Chain A
Amino acid sequence: MLIQDQGLVKTTKFSKPNYLGDVINAVKIFNEKEVDELCLLDIGASIENREPNFSLLEDIASEAFMPMSYGGGISNLEQAKKLFFIGFEKIVVNTSFIKKPGLIEEIVHYAGSQSVIVSIDAKKKILNGYHCCIEGGKQKVDKTPQELAILAEKAGAGEILLNSIDRDGTMSGYDIELIKSVAEKVSIPVIACGGASDIKDLKQALKEGNAHAVAAGSMFVYYGKKRAVLINMPDEKELIAGGIYEV
């Protein structure tokens, strides 16, 4: 779930944020739909050099009865501690992984690897291969997603959230080659994100991409050809029928 200016938004290729509605309302609905886990990302925080919005996050946490992770503007241990205290299980770090070396290790030492997710935003290079970005896709980092993933694992991160900037919001399927190339380089779980449109896509990322878990945005907030805003989620029966658990 992407938050910008306290509202829920959905981007396309990390730009053109489309306002969807109230965050807390969305959390309540996802609660009712018994989603496994919610990941909230404040996409403006790092660019605007801002702290997490703790009062909004406290309100959100009080409505959620499933595991939650938060990312966006986390740059020191105190912020992470506060997030754990208000009820978030895991924190997601992207920009600070590059700009604040040592932060991941500090948080891991305090709360354990399982509480830290490093988010890698990958963008295709013009010719071949990928590079990475920070600050909401605005700043380029001269490392491949594979290199960053290896560094993240070394730093003690518990999971990698791998975003394909090119597939984001397009619902054109996951970038399976990207996912596979990162998953084979690390032993920690890789969560695939970017491009999911239906259960078949989820299964493909798990089976062919070797992702440990799959995340989706547009698939759960848009419905139909005209992309009407409607929060929708496959239920357990549909997931079983789609073969998700056979992977």
Chain B
Amino acid sequence: MVAVINYGLGNVSSILNMLKKIGAKDVVLVQDPSEIKFADKLILPGVGAFDTGMKLLKQSGLVDAINIHTLENKKPILGICLGMQMLGCSSEEGKESGLGYLDFVSKKFDLKNSMLKVPHMGWDYVSVEKEKDPIVSEGMSSMKFYFVHSYHAVCKNAEDVLMYCNYGYPFAAAVSRGSIYGVQFHPEKSHKYGMQLLSNFVKV
């Protein structure tokens, strides 16, 4: 069962629609901690501000169940956009602590010496670092995904970076360690490319 976490933030409808489109079976929207234990995989969406996201997630009472799923049972989890940033330790955007599954902090794009504007908004190409990773398809290094964000993950360990993207400078477009995955872009808004990535995650 693929459980999409409903804690009050994030493009939940679009994610559910894309999962339906790719034919993923047994997809459930969960908001009760007791439902999490039945999930084989979790998807953590998120759009908006870091503190708002972490506060809502903590208030939802789901954090313990998500920790058990991810850290104890080592079952797959995919964080999308803000959801990916919440998998890290903290963000410059706020004061709350993240879930801490991966060792990174999220920082604002430093584009002082560039004509580029923040947020990084639009379609952009990614380059894959770990070609053998299960959620990556062949040829993903020439695929575009849709990004909308002002903050990006800065990983302590280079091996945690799954994909890079370039916006003024290279930044982590996706992260992974074991069965913990995070994508900064929106697969649910990246039509066939996003469908491929979500398909791969569902099959992990």
A positions within 8 Å CB-CB of B: 31, 34, 36, 58, 61-63, 65-67, 85-87, 89, 111-112, 114, 158, 187-189
Residue of A nearest to B21 (CB): A65
Query: How near does chain A come to B198, taking the closest CB pair, in angstroms?
Result: 10
Determine whether the beta carbon of B48 is less than 8 Å from that of A65: no
Q: Residues of B contacting A67 with CB < 8 Å?
A: 146, 148, 186, 189
The B151-196 residues at the A interface (CB cut-off 8 A) are 186, 188-192, 194-195
Give the residue of B11, B117, B121, B191 whose beta carbon is less than 8 angstroms from that of A31: B191
Chain B min CB distance to A157 (Å):
13
Which of B12-20, B32-40, B58-66, B133-141 is the contact stretch?
A: B12-20
8 nearest CB pairs, A to B: A65-B191, A87-B14, A87-B13, A62-B17, A114-B119, A67-B189, A66-B191, A114-B121
Query: B11 touching A66 by the CB < 8 A rule?
Result: no
Interface positions of B (Cβ within 8 A of A): 11, 13-14, 17-18, 21, 48, 117, 119, 121-123, 146, 148, 186, 188-192, 194-195
Bound-complex Cα distance A158 to B21 (A): 31
Chain B residue nearest to A187 (CB atoms) is B117
Provide the bound-state CA to CA distance between A31 and B192, in Å. 9
Cβ–Cβ contact B189 & A34, under 8 A: no
B18–A65 contact, CB under 8 A?
yes
Of the candidates B18, B123, B186, B195, the one whose C-beta lies within 8 Å of that of A36 is: B123
Which B residues are CB-close (under 8 A) to A31?
Answer: 191
- Asked if B146 contacts A66 (CB within 8 A), the reply is yes
Contact A66 B189 (CB under 8 A): yes
CA distance A86 to B188 in the complex (A): 13
Distance A34 CA – B189 CA, assembled complex (angstroms): 11
- Given A111-B48, A114-B121, A114-B148, A65 contacting B188 (CB threshold 8 A): yes
B119 touches A65 (CB 8 A): no
Alpha-carbon separation in the docked complex, A26 to B109 (Å): 37
Complexed CA–CA distance, A207 and B204 (Å):
45
A89 neighbours in B (Cβ, 8 Å): 148, 189
* Complex alpha-carbon distance, A72 and B156, angstroms: 46
Q: Counting chain A CB atoms within 10 Å of each CB, which of B121, B192, B195 scores highest?
A: B121
Q: Give every chain B residue within 8 A of A86 (Cβ-Cβ).
A: 13
Smallest distance from the beta carbon of A35 to chain B beta carbons, Å?
9
Q: How far is the CA of A159 from the CA of B4 in the complex (A)?
A: 31
Q: Enumerate chain B residues within 8 angstroms of A187, measured Cβ to Cβ.
A: 117
Report 17 cross-chain contacts, Cβ distance below 8 Å, ordered by A residue. A31-B191, A34-B191, A34-B192, A61-B17, A65-B14, A65-B21, A66-B189, A66-B191, A67-B189, A87-B11, A87-B13, A87-B17, A111-B48, A114-B121, A114-B148, A188-B117, A189-B117
Q: How far is the CA of A36 from the CA of B193 in the complex (A)?
A: 12
B14: chain A residues within 8 A (beta carbon): 61, 65, 87
A36-B123, A65-B191 known; A112+B48 contact, CB < 8 A: yes
Chain A neighbourhood of B190, CB < 8 A? 65-66
Q: Which residues of chain B come closer than 8 Å to A189, judged between CB atoms?
A: 117
Which residue, of A67, A85, A112, has the highest number of chain B Cβ atoms within 10 A?
A67
A61 touches B13 (CB 8 A): yes
Q: Which residues of the partner chain A approach B189 to less than 8 Å between Cβ atoms? A: 65-67, 89
